[in-house]
Amino acid sequence: MPTRPAILILNGPNLNMLGVRQPELYGRETLGDIEAACRERAAALSLDVDFRQSNGEGEIVTWIQEARGTADGLIINAGAYTHTSIAILDAVLAAELPVVEVHLSNIFRRERFRRHSMISEAARGVICGFGGQGYLLALDAMARILTTDDRQP
Ligand code: DQA
């Protein structure tokens, strides 16, 4: 049986606090709830998922480096590092994988400093403002990218 495409889903700082953290912005779903929904959608799409969270920029960089050659696609919500991290951007560029960037909140209707994303420069597309559902939309998009055999970043 052919192996299923492997999708790495990375979550950055403070996303482990979902459910209790500013629910008016981020909703009541926990990261565990989002992970469970992603696993269900991935199974329906015949994708394998590796779902992780870290508060550390260096750890996220290392995981993205490891994804080169082991994953087929990357879905990333880098949290606040989205707006600041050239290191994560560089890692994503070096990974040479299709990337879908996700944000729970609509970063364009919040503070000015959230309107710029470092990661977007390396992303195929960005989904924001749909809460946890954004991760499922990202999986749908990734399945489409991989089945059209267009694996370029
Ligand atoms: C976020 C938006 C970021 O600006 C913020 O720092 C986060 C979460 C989102 O999912 O909406 O931590 O990435």
pLDDT in tens, 31-77: 999 999 999 999 999 999 999 999 999 999 999 999 999 999 999 99
pTM over 0.85: yes
Full set of structural domains in the chain with CATH: 6-147 (3.40.50.9100)
Q: What is the pLDDT of residues 83-104, one digit of tens each?
A: 999 999 999 999 999 999 999 9
Backbone angles phi, psi at 48, to 5 degrees: -95, 140
pLDDT beyond 70 at 80: yes
Find the residues whose C-beta lies inside 6 A of ligand 1: 14, 77, 79-80, 82, 103-105, 107, 114
Which residue out of 81, 83, 103, 135 is catalytically annotated? 103
